[in-house]
A and B are shown apart, each in its own frame.
Chain A
């Protein structure tokens, strides 16, 4: 291949080269954008769980308590036994686990959602440590309470107040802004896990629905190997039974309800169609361009170019053209992706994952996690798209070149 010839050809025939490149660049841009969107949705779906430091959450549905008095479990989160969790913890791919105990406490003068949390764990509601709006976080070995900021405001609870929960006293040491931190496992009051356990052990109502012993919990947060998450979900259900609810990024993806989120097959099919149409357009325009040069090809052959020489020259031109198309498409896709990254998505948080009694204010409302769709073009996708263009160029050039190279050089002796 003669590079000088290639460059001159593309430069002086730039209009025709651009027309051929344009179709392909649109296809490449579509391919990149579709996949960038798909990746963005996937990343968005991880965020609700990531906020709480987890990849998976586990709980188990149970029966509705007969009478709402004292501490009870929400029907969406009943006892997960200590020994069951030990089995879950030893599944391959699990890197860490956080526990919490979610209670509805019905006291004569007030009902509240109470969450017993671990004090130190990077997985689970202990991440609230970073969302203390006033006062301080829980300290070791102390029976004290954190109150959600909005709830405290509504009921006039202040730092230093003492809360009486099922007959036990807890001084309020901090106000936390849970809404800023996470949408999962939000409560009105946060207690040390030990104290919540004591409330659960002491509650007859709770015990009658779902027998409970200290050390059991009803919410589990799991950090796992990314590529094992899909297989962990059924494995956990095997241990915990069919009533276990395992939430993963995939389950959030389904909740997003977008075409991209619903199936990667859609993205694949749409990308394929975009690319095939683009290839056809590029092929057709390039075929026209090359056909116009039949005489030129004849001259090359007459002055001693072999078929191979001709084919390689045309492959070189096609590759250069498609490389330009690929880069053009990539630039276009980057611009469009930037635009799309201003788009907001609202991820619905299932009620089970943040159960508020429906008779409490806002209890029946659907909670959403709203975020900007993180659309970016990953390097791997960019490189793939440009490489794909080059391959398309090589194949188109090869195919068209081999065809046109068959021209008889004697044709050039005939003048128009």
Chain B
């Protein structure tokens, strides 16, 4: 069971001081699966995401990503692993304000030994794919919220990850734009087979996932 999926976390616990945020969570995601994580504010969704993606280490429990046990990896090993296998989408976009759209997309490639022209080409392709071919040279400040999030999605895809972690990617967008972003994610999941683990508050969007995981007070309830 542990290594069957693209991602699996087993009996994950996380405490901040005396505050136990995760109380033994197990979750597996299959390759190409689209999973939505829902639950009340403060129940530990973001914390779980950061453990599963290797941004943070659990107090207890194990995570394996694409067959690799990452709980015991060093910080740099985790960084290299994320670089190769994982994509991130954030609620607040987190684009670099001084870099243009395509440079933001290429950001994960910068430290790699790939010629710059090739980096640019890959970033451009991703932007084309997200229908942003006409805005590649713009700074984030010149883009709308939906465009920013599309750039962020292109960045999450540029390293051809097997799984994308998205923490409330529509949280800062109006419902129509959020709907559009959701359909992009659905399309990527369907066409490219990239697995997605997404946190959302919006029931309408959550319904569109392959599977819904509900959390309450640091535990999975359904």
Contacts and interface: CB of A to CB of B under 8 A. Distances in A.
Interface residues of A, number: 29
B111 A5 contact: no
A343 to B, nearest CB: 45
Interface stretch (A84-92, A144-152, A177-185, A300-308): A300-308
A110 interface: no
Given A413-B49, A414-B46, A303 B107 contact: yes
Contact of A309 (B88, B103, B111): B111
A321 to B, nearest CB: 14
Given A4-B103, A413-B55, A299 B94 contact: yes
Interface string B86-115: 101011101011111001000110110000
A410 B55 contact: yes
Nearest to A416: B92
Contact of A413 (B46, B97, B103): B46
A284 interface: no
Contacts of B92: 415-416
A304 B90 contact: no
Interface stretch (A7-15, A18-26, A45-53, A124-132): A7-15
A408 B110 contact: no
Interface string A217-229: 0000000000000
A303 B49 contact: no
Give chain A's interface secondary structure class.
Answer: helix
A318 B96 CA distance: 18
A303 B98 contact: no
Contact of B76 (A308, A412, A416): A308
A295 interface: yes
A2 interface: yes
A220 B92 CA distance: 84
14 contacts: A2-B110, A4-B103, A296-B97, A300-B107, A301-B79, A302-B94, A303-B83, A303-B155, A304-B83, A305-B79, A309-B79, A409-B79, A412-B94, A413-B167
Interface of B: 46, 49-50, 55-56, 75-76, 79-84, 86, 88, 90-92, 94, 96-100, 103, 107-108, 110-111, 116, 139, 155, 159, 167, 171-172
Interface of A: 2, 4-5, 8-9, 11-13, 295-296, 299-309, 408-410, 412-416
